[in-house]
Amino acid sequence: MIDKTELETQAIKAARRNFAEVLTELGLMAPFHDRSANEIDRIIEACVDGFQAAMHRETLNDDIPF
């Protein structure tokens, strides 16, 4: 994401908790424990960007004729 809105910035910050919960459940928290908030946000943004790009590609490949 480039030039995030305030809402996007807040949503990414809120997603940190979910990210940490999953890392903990999977036993993967240790490598991320000393990472900065900005680094964690970059990971979250990469996931969101990839998800949105995939959804966009699927929408463009839809068979709806209009």
pLDDT at 62: 62
Q: For the ranges 3-7, 11-15, 21-25, which has the lowest average pLDDT?
A: 3-7
List the structure tokens of 36: 């900065």
Question: What DSSP assignment string belongs to the chain?
Answer: --S--HHHHHHHHHHHHHHHHHHHHTT--GGGTT--HHHHHHHHHHHHHHHHHHHHHHHHT-----
Q: What is the pTM of this model?
A: 0.79
Average pLDDT score, the chain = 89
What mean pLDDT is predicted for residues 3-11?
Answer: 92
What mean pLDDT is predicted for residues 50-54?
Answer: 90
What mean pLDDT is predicted for residues 36-65?
Answer: 86
Residue 37 has pLDDT above 70, yes or no: yes
